[in-house]
Chains A and B, each alone.
Chain A
Amino acid sequence: MMAGKILKMGFRQRTITSIVVSFLLLLIMVLSGLWIGEEQLEIQPEDMNEAPSLHHLFGTDWLGRDMLTRTFKGVTISFGVGILAAFSSTVIALVFSLLASVNGKADRVVTWLIDLFLSVPHIVLLLLISFAMGGGFQGVVVGLAFTHWPSLTRVLRAEMLQVKNAEYVSVSRKLGKSRLWIARHHIIPHLRPQLFIGFVLLFPHAILHEAAITFLGFGLPPEQPAIGIILSESMLYLSTGMWWLAVFPGLSLLLMVALFDILGRNLRKWADPFHGQKGV
C-alpha cells in the first residue's frame, strides 16, 4: 500500500520527499552525536573486544569502549569539520568568482590559480597544507578549505559570464545602472542557488577527504574519535578478526556522505528549472 503510493508520486514530489527524508536523517545522526557526552566514551575494561550484540550494537574495542557511541561521535566530528571547510571553501569560491568578473586580466589570474590548484593531486596538496600548518584540527580545516574551492569557482565563474553577457544585463548597463546595482539585482540572485547547492555538494568531498587525511595520520589528533582515527586504529586489530571495528564506522561515514550527496543532487533538481521535471 505504502510502496504503491510512493511509486505513484510525481517526479517533483519524489524530489521533495528525498530532500526532506535525507535532511531529517542527517539531523538525527548529528543530533544523536551531540547528545553523547564524555562519560559514554569511557574505558570499560570488563567488556573488552566484544562482538556486536544487543547490548553493544557495534561491538566494543580493545579498551571496552562502545563502538556505537564512538562512531556517532566520530560522525558528528566529521560533520563539524565538513561544515567549517565547506563554508570557507564556498566563501573563497565566491570571492574568486567575483574577482574574475572584474576584468579580463583578473579573470586570467583566477583561471590560472584554478589550474594551479587542480594540477597537484588533491590528497598530496592536502597533505602539504596540513604539514605546513603543523597538522591537527586547524591543519585539516585550512587544508580542506583551500583545496575544495576550484571546482565551485569554475561553476560560479561560468554562470557569471553567462549572466553578464545576457541581453537584459546589457540593457541595464545601457540604462546607466551602476556595477553594484547590476551585481545586486542581476548577478547575485542567479548565483545564490548555485552557491547554496555548491556548498551542500562540497560537503561529501570535504568529509571524505577529512577522513582520508586523518586516516593517514595528518588530521585530527588521536584522542578524538574521528572516523579516520577509528579506522586507522582498527587496522592494528584486523588480523585478529575484529571486523566490527572497521565495518560499522566506515558504513556510517558512507551513509552520511551518501545522504549529503542525495540531498545536494535533489536540491539541484528542485532549484534548477531545466532539470525540474526530468531525472538526470
Chain B
Amino acid sequence: MQVKRMVSYFFGKCMRLAVLLVAVSAFSYILVNNSPIDPVQSYIGADMTKVSPEQRANIAEYWGLNEPPVQQLFQWGKNLLQGDMGTSLIYRDPVAGVIAERFLASLALMSVAWVLSGLFGFTFGVIAGMNEGSWMDKLIKGYCFTLASTPAFWLGLLLLMLFSVWLGWLPIGFGTPAGILAEEVTFSDRLRHLILPGLTLSIVGLANIALHTRQKLVEVMNSEYVRFARAKGEDGLTLLRRHGLRNISLPAISLHFASFGELFGGAVLAEQVFSYPGLGQAVVEAGLGGDVPLLLGIVLCSTVFVFAGNTAADVLYKTIDPRMRRGEV
C-alpha cells in the first residue's frame, strides 16, 4: 500500500515535471524566436563590416535558421531529448558542458548561502518570536524589513567596497586568483573568492525565513497549549524546545526549500557583481550576446532546479508530518 502510493506519487511528480518542461521550453522558444535581436548579427558583433552577405547566409544555414520556426522548435526538442542542447555561440562548446561546469560553481555558492541564511534566519526568527515586542524583536524586524527593500546587487557593491577595496581583506572578484594556472588553484583560494558573494546572498536570503519563523513562533506562543505549559512552570528554552521548535521548524525548512527561485535570482546578481564564473553570469552573457541555445538551456536548467526545491519541500512535509500523510490538513 505504502509502496504503491509512493510509486504513484513519484510518477505523478515526473509527469508534472515533463509537462512543465515542455511548456517552459515551448514558451521560451517562442519568446526567443520573436526577439528582434538577430543571432547572426550578435554572433558577428564588431566584425560586421568584414562579413559578406554570403557568409551571413552560410552561418544562418549552418545553424538551421532558414527553416520555419516550428520545424526548428521540433528539431531543438528532438536533440534535447537525445541529450544534445546545441552549441553555445559564445563559448563554442556544447551547452550541456558549459552548464554543467558553471552549475557546479553556482551550486557551491548557492549551497553556502542557503545553509547560512537558513541557520541565521531561523535563529533570528526564534529570538524575535520568543521576545515579541522587545527591543530585540524590533531590531530584528526592522533589519529584515530593511533587507527586503535592499537591492541585492547594491549590497554586494557595498561589501565589495568595504572588504576588498577599503580593507583589502578579500579578493575583488572572479572565482579564482588571476594569473594562476587552473591546476594550481588551491581550495582555500576558491574559498576566499566564495566568501563575499556567499555573504551577500546569505544576508539577503535571511530576511524572509526570519520573518516567517517569527510569525509562526508568535502564533505558537499565543496558543492555548503554551499557556497551559507556562502554567505548569515551563519557560525559556525548555518551553521553546518542547512546544516551539517542533511546530515551527518544518514550515521553515520547507519554505527554505521552496525559495530556490529567489536564491537563483540572487545568485545571478551576486555573480554579476563579483564576476563569479557561475550559471548566473552565463545567463547574463547569453542574453546580452544573443546566445540562444545557452539561454534556453539555462532557463530549463533553472526550472528543474526550482522544481527540485519545491518537490523536496513537498516530500519533506509528507514524510515528517503524519497529519499531511493522512490528508488531515
Q: Is the CB of B269 within 8 A of A216?
A: yes
Contact A246-B303, Cβ < 8 Å, known A128-B295, A231-B154, A254-B154: no
Chain A contributes a number of interface residues (CB within 8 A of B) equal to 43
A158 within 8 A of B: no
B202 within 8 A of A: no
A134, B287: Cα distance in complex, Å = 10
B265 within 8 A of A: yes
A53, B288: Cα distance in complex, Å = 38
B242-266, CB under 8 A of A: which get 1 and which 0? 0000000000000000001110110
Q: Which residues of B contact A239 (CB under 8 A)?
A: 165, 172
Chain B, residue nearest A279 (CB): B133
A250, B273: Cα distance in complex, Å = 14
B161 within 8 A of A: yes
A166 within 8 A of B: no
Q: Is the CB of B152 within 8 A of A212?
A: yes
B151 within 8 A of A: yes
A222 within 8 A of B: no
Chain B, residue nearest A134 (CB): B36
Q: Which residues of B contact A243 (CB under 8 A)?
A: 161, 165-166
Q: Is the CB of B158 within 8 A of A250?
A: yes
B20-50, CB under 8 A of A: which get 1 and which 0? 1001100110011011110000000000000
Q: How far is the CB of A252 from chain B (nearest CB, A)?
A: 10
Interface residues of A in 119-144 (CB under 8 A from B): 119-124, 127-135
Q: Is the CB of B37 within 8 A of A134?
A: yes
Chain A, residue nearest B305 (CB): A121
A93 within 8 A of B: no
A238 within 8 A of B: yes
- Quick one: which of A120, A122, A208, A212 contacts B149, CB cutoff 8 A? A208
A218, B288: Cα distance in complex, Å = 7
Q: Is the CB of A254 within 8 A of B261?
A: no
A215, B31: Cα distance in complex, Å = 22
B198-227, CB under 8 A of A: which get 1 and which 0? 000000000000000001000000000000
Chain B contributes a number of interface residues (CB within 8 A of A) equal to 50
B160 within 8 A of A: yes
Q: How far is the CB of B290 from chain A (nearest CB, A)?
A: 8
Q: Which residues of B contact A134 (CB under 8 A)?
A: 35-37
Q: Is the CB of A123 within 8 A of B32?
A: no
A118 within 8 A of B: yes
Q: Is the CB of B149 within 8 A of A204?
A: yes
Q: Is the CB of A261 within 8 A of B145?
A: yes
A135, B288: Cα distance in complex, Å = 9
Interface residues of B in 75-113 (CB under 8 A from A): none
A3 within 8 A of B: no
A180-218, CB under 8 A of B: which get 1 and which 0? 000000000000000000000000100010011001111
Q: Is the CB of A131 within 8 A of B32?
A: yes
- Quick one: which of B151, B161, B295 contacts A253, CB cutoff 8 A? B151
Q: Which residues of B contact A257 (CB under 8 A)?
A: 149-151
A63 within 8 A of B: no
A102-126, CB under 8 A of B: which get 1 and which 0? 0000000000000110111111100
A258 within 8 A of B: yes
A231, B160: Cα distance in complex, Å = 13
A126, B129: Cα distance in complex, Å = 35
Q: How far is the CB of B245 from chain A (nearest CB, A)?
A: 23
A235 within 8 A of B: yes
Q: Is the CB of A123 within 8 A of B31?
A: no
Can you list 20 contacts pairing A with B, beta carbon distance less than 8 Å? A119-B20, A120-B261, A123-B265, A124-B265, A130-B287, A132-B35, A134-B36, A204-B148, A208-B149, A211-B153, A212-B153, A215-B269, A216-B284, A217-B288, A218-B284, A246-B161, A254-B150, A257-B149, A257-B150, A261-B149
The 6 A-B residue pairs whose C-beta atoms are closest, nearest first, are: A250-B154, A123-B265, A132-B31, A257-B149, A134-B36, A258-B149
Residues on A facing B (Cβ under 8 Å): 115-116, 118-124, 127-135, 204, 208, 211-212, 215-218, 227, 231, 234-235, 238-239, 241, 243, 246-247, 250, 253-254, 257-258, 261, 280
Extra contacts, 13 of them, besides A122-B261, A211-B153, A257-B149 (Cβ < 8 A), are A116-B20, A119-B24, A120-B24, A121-B264, A121-B302, A123-B265, A128-B295, A130-B287, A133-B35, A212-B151, A215-B272, A243-B165, A246-B157
